[in-house]
Structure 1
Amino acid sequence: MTCSFCPHCGVRVHRPTIRRQIKNIAETETEEIPLRCSLTIIPEENENIPPEKIEYEGKSIILNRENTEVSNRTITSKEQAEIVFEDGHWYLLDRSELRTTFIQANRKIEIIADDIIVLGDRRFKFESDSL
């Protein structure tokens, strides 16, 4: 059997052992870091409410009334929009029947930190700690 030496300590090891060690190192390095983003409610000019930051986690987040602003009837209770993370970028897709999600989202559109998203009649500031 062919032998090799450990690059760290110089001990003679069998080649299959090194492959197993390299595989385990590679698996450890590819562990996924949870993807996080947030939307912050932007109060209207005459509203006396503090800006509320709503945290989300995952590669795909369906936005609706329940996870954005429970009392806002202009946001659908079903699927208003979807935020997805693909190929290192965040995108927004309009999922509302009445097309009340803006950026005019008839297609997948990349969103970046500080972009303003409108769901129903409420504005939200997008933020992300991913990339």
Structure 2
Amino acid sequence: MVLSLAAHHRIADGQATTSSLARELGTGGTTTTSTTTRIRITVNGRVCIRLPVPRDYFGNLVLWAFPRCDAGELVTYSVHHAAELIHRAVAGIDDTYFRLFIDFASFNAIKAEGLGPTADAGEVMVCPG
């Protein structure tokens, strides 16, 4: 299994990101072991949707999974436990989930519900140039 992490340099540098105490999980700081923690993982819809997506499709087919658990679990159990939590969350973003999301967006529900983007396109760099 390969586990990777992507973080913006404004959040933390490499050394701080790889330290288990970077967020003070279970160290008596402001975060307690019963605090719920989560990460955001992108899920590629091209491999989740049952109907094949044309190779020349130039659109967004990415949704996010949000594995979460108490901080105490992360410091108590093995890395295997964390990997299983991630696996279950990503597996839940399947063909059915993508289709429900597409249906939701197709019925103008986004505007009716007052929803907006969760990432600011002006702040996100998509090309390393």
TM-score range for the pair, normalised by the shorter chain length: under 0.3
TM-score, with length taken from structure 2: 0.25
Q: TM-score, normalised by structure 1?
A: 0.24
The structure richer in strand per residue is 1
| Structure with the bigger percentage of helix | 2
Larger radius of gyration: 1
